[in-house]
Every structure is written in C-alpha cells, then in structure tokens.
Structure 1
Amino acid sequence: MKQNKYDEAGFFAKYSAMPRSTGGLEAAGEWSTFRSLLPDLHGKRVLDLGCGFGWHCRYARGQHAESVVGIDLSEKMLERARVMTDDPGIEYRRGAIEDIRFAAGEFDVVISSLAIHYVERFDLLCREVQHCLRPGGSFVLSVEHPIYTALAAQDWHYGPDGAKLHWPLDHYHDEGPREARFLEDDVIKYHRNIATYLNTLINSGFTVTKLSELQPTPEMLEQYAAWHEELRRPMFLLLSAVRN
C-alpha cells in the first residue's frame, strides 16, 4: 500500500510546522547517531529514499558527494525541496520507494530516514537496494523502533492521575500493518521485529555493520526534556549495512 498523506494540504501544513521540518537535521534528535553511521561521502553517488525536504541530500553534497538522487512520493515535499536547493548535483524524482528501479551498481550509498516503516515489503526493497548498490556500498536506514510500532496506539499506559506508568508492548511478533495516529490523522505503518530487519538485510546480501537503538545522550537530555522518555523505551532503530 502506497500512501501519500503529505500531499493533503492539512497534513502537509502540520508536518511543515514540526521542529525537524523548520530546523533541519540539527533539530532531528536522531541525526547525530544517523550521521555517525554514514560512510565517507566524498565522491560518492548517493540515493536518498523518502527524501522529504531534501535535508539529507543537501548534507551529502555538503560532504562532497559526487551526485545525489532524492526519491519521494509527495509532490509537495519535492516542491519544497527544490525551492530549498540550489545545486545541479542534486536531482529530485517523484516516485514510491517500493517502485525504485536503477541500474546495477548505480550508487555507492543508499540512505533512508524514517520512511521504510511505511513500506510493506522490506524484503523486496532490500533486493532493489542491493541491486543498485556497488559491491562494498553502504545502506544506512532509520525506522521507528519495533517496540514503538508493535501496538497501533503508539502511546503510554497512563495512571488515574495522568502519569505515564509504562509503555505497553503486545503483539510484537504479529508483523504487518498498523493504523496509527500521526499529526492527528490516520496513517498505515508496517510493524516488523528486529530479527526481521536484520535477517532480511543478511538474506538480501548485506553485512550488518552497526545497530543503534538511540539511547539519548546527556546533551540531548539537557536540550530537550522530552528525550527523558526515550530512556524508558526506544523510539528509533538505526542500521548500517554493507553490500557483500
């Protein structure tokens, strides 16, 4: 199922007001960890799946990537990305992540930030990424953590006084779609457990080189009080892998 909520005016307006939409990568709490998983981008051909406003595309070029292709299904996202980009080395293309088709070995690095949990068939996507990466190329991705996606409610269990008592975990091994609320709207996300993420990458011809469940740093806790909740349950899963 391919969703395009971001081209709905109300949804896009609410997304555009989020801190990570106005402040860029430095306003995204997981960015420093995601950046640490990236290889040296100098001279590399980069593909960004679910590029949104193009923040990662522009970062890659800032690190002297040879070229960057950004893919997104939302025309509104791509319009904003093009307005914010003045660089012939970046090409934005409209399309679903599930539909990518590139030549063998066309890229050195493939990245995807918080988009793949909207993709139903992770196995098919991994095959396409493996195909379009050169041998030794890197695949770096972030998704919502399976502990976060297991229940569609994606919310705490509250006490009588409204205190957040614990994060409920159920149906963890029941993989598949979840109708979740995001920006006051219903969206479909796909829950997979950690083993599925890792084994699918391995079975698709990758070596997993690093995994992070994003434990907040003291700096993150000092900057944003909300990050203290992430000490109680992980919200993000980040992975880096290399094509065999």
Structure 2
Amino acid sequence: MNKLALQWFDEAYQCLVTQGLSHWLQTLPAQLAAWDKQGQHGEFDKWCRLIEKLPDLPAQDVCIKDGVRIGEATNISEHQHKQIEGLLRQFMPWRKGPFDIYGMHLDTEWRSDWKWDRVVEHISSLKDRKVLDVGCGSGYHLWRMLGEDARCVIGIDPTELFLIQFQAIKHFIGPRPVHYLPLGIEQMQPLQAFDTVFSMGVLYHRKDPMQFLEQLKLQLRRGGELVLETLVVEGDTSTVFMPTDRYAQMRNVWFLPSVAALTLWLERVGFKNVRLADVSVTSTQEQRATPWMQGQSLADFLDPEDPTKTIEGYAAPQRAVLIATRK
C-alpha cells in the first residue's frame, strides 16, 4: 500500500479505537487491503507525491465554523503561494467547496456552503456526536460538521481524487478527528453506532434506493438522525420518476421520487419523525464552471430556450433535504 495512504488509514484506525468505533476494525483493514490490491487510479501515486510537496506550514487562523478558511496571505511568501496554487491545480477538477487557503480562493463547481446553510439550521446539534457522511466528495462538509463541534467525523466515498483533495486540505488544517475512507456504503458492516448520518447527492445514483436507505439506517444507533439530500420531483406518494437514459447528461440517475414518496420510503424501512427541511431548485449560480472546474456544468445541461427543463426535456434539478430518526 502507498506509504502515505497507509499513514492516513492508521490515523483513522486510532480514531475509531478512541471514539467507540473499534468494532469497525473487524472488517475495515481487510477492506482497505482489498482496495489496495484492486489498484488505484493511475495517477494516485503521483498525487500522493504532490501532496508531500505541499509546504509544511503551521495550522493557524483555521476557521471551519462559517466556511473553510486557512491562514492569511500575509502568513506566507509569494513563492509559497504560487507553490500551493500550482500543486492544488494538479488535483483538478475541484467540485465541492469552496476553500480559502492563505488568501487563495479555491472556487469549486458547487457552492457547497449554500447547501450547508440550508441544512444546518434544521438538524439536531452535532456537538459531541459521532458523524458519518456517505458520499462525502472532497470532504467540504466534513469540515463544516466538525465546525459544529462534532466529536468525530468520518467520510466515505470510493473516488480516489476526492480522497486526495481531502488530504490536501487536511495537510493545512492539521490533525483533527476527521477522516476519509475510500469505501462505498455497500462495503460497510452494520455498525449501528453513529449519532448522525448524512447522505447528500447519492440516492439517485443507486439502482436499489430501498436497499440504500436500509444501509444508511444500519449505520445509525437507535434514535440517531439521518440527513438525506437528493433530487426529487413533484407528485404524491406514488410518484417516482426514472429517466429513459440520461438526466441532465448524467447516465447514472435511476430514481427521482417525490417528497411524499421518499417520506413513505423512509418510514417503510424503519425511520420515524420524517420531516422536510428544504426544497430548492438548483441554480446556475450554485453549480457552475470555474477556473478550478473548467468542464461543462449545470448551464450546459439545461435547455437553452427553457432553463426550467434539462436538455432532455425533463424538469430541471430540484433537491430536497429530509431529516428522519431511526426507530
């Protein structure tokens, strides 16, 4: 296993032991060994070497309460600023953020801070809670969860570039009880240990949404809270939309339920107190191309004559946040 990745995972193991999650170690080391054996992205070792080239700077002026900001431009030299920017650009595209690092604004495709602002006022306090984020992307929300005084935060996502992006940011923030593991939910044993589980932007990518909701439930202790964000459509308890091929140019979109149908799904798999926290149409200000994500983005996937529709003619993306309690 890559030496740097091994160090990251060893730190995660230590955290699990101290946070009452040691039973995860019955399966996790073998799963990460299998992840290593199957081989990583062809650039993975290169990315790790680039992380090791990031300048070692004291973790100072770190703010994760109302954003993710690290240091001030005046804390580093012009050479260090160029070095940091040049290295972080090697990890493009950056999709979830934004991050401010020593005066450099890393403007990601998604304004993930907007989504967090819509969510955080509706959830239970995260203070002293053990939190899992399923499909955490580059980990932006992991830092915001810690900023709400979570006891420990674990993110899982199988995308290796996201792992690298998370570790690049953590390099500057310094040691914290926040860890990223390159796993999918289907690899998770039923830990039944987390106080809060987040899953934002994953459900519609699953061929079996009921199984996915069951898997999320089994990571929560009884009475724990699920925060679920996903694409939805208008309709009643029987309304579920499945695109014939692509949706907003995404191939891997399967089921888009109405809020009422999703509420019923959650209740059927063992949740109670299901409540709607937010419904909003995704705007081209919230998801867009930037100098840090230069490919196509939402504006390219909407009908140029009618932005209320995708280019396939479906209703434009609308997202809902539902919160529920495990029975």
**Scaled by the length of structure 2, what TM-score is found?**
0.52
User: Structure 1 pair 48/215, CA: closer, same or farther in 2 (3 Å)?
Assistant: closer
1:32-181 correspondence runs (5 A):
32-85=117-170, 86-104=174-192, 106-147=193-234, 173=239, 175-176=241-242, 179-180=245-246
| 1:39 counterpart SS class | coil
Q: Distance in 2 between matches of 1:50 and 1:178?
A: 25
Match of 1:207 in 2: 272
User: Structure 1 pair 233/178, CA: closer, same or farther in 2 (3 Å)?
Assistant: closer
Q: Distance in 1 between matches of 2:176 and 2:190?
A: 20
1:19-30 correspondence runs (5 A):
22-23=106-107, 28-30=113-115
1:240 positional shift: 0.5
User: Structure 1 pair 101/196, CA: closer, same or farther in 2 (3 Å)?
Assistant: farther
- The question of 1:188 aligning with 2:275 is answered no
1:179 positional shift: 3.5
Indicate the RMSD between aligned Cα atoms, in angstroms: 3.7
Q: Which runs of 4+ in 1 moved over 6 A?
A: none
Q: Bigger relative contact order, structure 1 or 2, given CA contacts below 8 A and separation 6+?
A: 1
| 1:61 counterpart SS class | helix
Q: Distance in 1 between matches of 2:191 and 2:213?
A: 15
Match of 2:94 in 1: 16
User: Which residue type is aligned with residue 181 of structure 2?
Assistant: R
- Asked if structure 1 preserves the Cα contact closer than 8 Å seen for 2:128 and 2:151, the reply is yes
User: Which residue type is aligned with residue 201 of structure 1?
Assistant: L
Q: Distance in 2 between matches of 1:196 and 1:98?
A: 23
Q: Identity of aligned pairs, percent?
A: 21
Which stretches in structure 2 are left out of the alignment for 5+ residues?
Answer: 1-40, 44-89, 100-105, 288-298, 300-306, 309-314
Q: Distance in 1 between matches of 2:269 and 2:195?
A: 17
- Structure number with the higher strand fraction is 1
Which stretches in structure 1 are left out of the alignment for 5+ residues?
Answer: 1-6, 148-168
1:67 positional shift: 0.8
Q: Distance in 2 between matches of 1:178 and 1:81?
A: 35
Q: Which moved more, 1:232-241 or 1:133-142?
A: 232-241
- Asked if structure 1 preserves the Cα contact closer than 8 Å seen for 2:223 and 2:325, the reply is yes
